[in-house]
Amino acid sequence: MRWFKQALLDLIVTLAILLLAAAHFTWLEIPLMVYTVFVFLMKLVGWSNRELLRRMKKAPVPAPDWFYHLLYAVNVIALGASQRWITSMFWALIWLVSWLISRKLQSRKAK
């Protein structure tokens, strides 16, 4: 469970998304959208940058892929259910790019 500290921010963001979707905490919309765009851009940079991929591969105890798949699925579904289509689309793209990064990392480990 050492990876849990690494994934704590992602868990907090998912809880904030659930609060926005279920309890209509509309004041969370702007900070979540800014964070979402930032994460999306960082994922794109990570996916396209070989040096960052090399560093990710050497991460001490990465969180398991299933944990992020679960969080991203919850984010996409909650945002879609609350009709926040743009933010939901960004989280779906974050999920896709994360999967692509994971595949790249796995293929490099096999080499």
Share of the chain above pLDDT 90, in %: 63
With a CB cutoff of 8 Å and minimum separation 6, the contacts of 88 are 75, 76, 79, 80
Q: Of 87, 85, 92, 88, which Cα lies nearest the Cα of 34?
A: 87
C-alpha torsion 97→36→74→57, nearest 10 = 40
> What is the value of pTM for the model shown?
0.88
How many domains would you assign to the chain? Answer: 1
Range of the domain at 85: 3-110
**Rounded-to-5 percentages of helix, strand, coil across the chain:** 85, 0, 15
Q: State pLDDT tens for residues 67-94.
A: 999 999 999 999 999 999 999 999 999 9
DSSP state of 26: G
Q: What are the backbone angles phi and psi of residue 62, rounded to the nearest 5°?
A: -70, 150
